[in-house]
Amino acid sequence: MKNEGISKGKIINYHCYLRQNPHYKPSYAITLEELEWLGERVAYLQALTERLCKAKIASYLE
């Protein structure tokens, strides 16, 4: 999976945000299996969004 558009600075800034967010739990942990599932789900949702948006744009051109 590519990390296009995500810079090291953005990741660090997000990490700082999470530390300041009262809902952040320092004890939170995620397994490799859960992380892989999330990655697959994100890829699926990205493809779905792209397909639906392209169909909608095409409908304007008809």
Contacts of 18 (CB under 8 A, 6+ apart): 24
Assess contact for 3 and 9: CB atoms under 8 A.
no
Element (H, E) at 51: helix 32-61
At residue 1, the pLDDT reads: 42
pTM for this entry: 0.55
Contacts of 30 (CB under 8 A, 6+ apart): 38
At residue 10, the pLDDT reads: 56
Low-confidence ranges of the chain (pLDDT < 50): 1-3
At residue 53, the pLDDT reads: 96
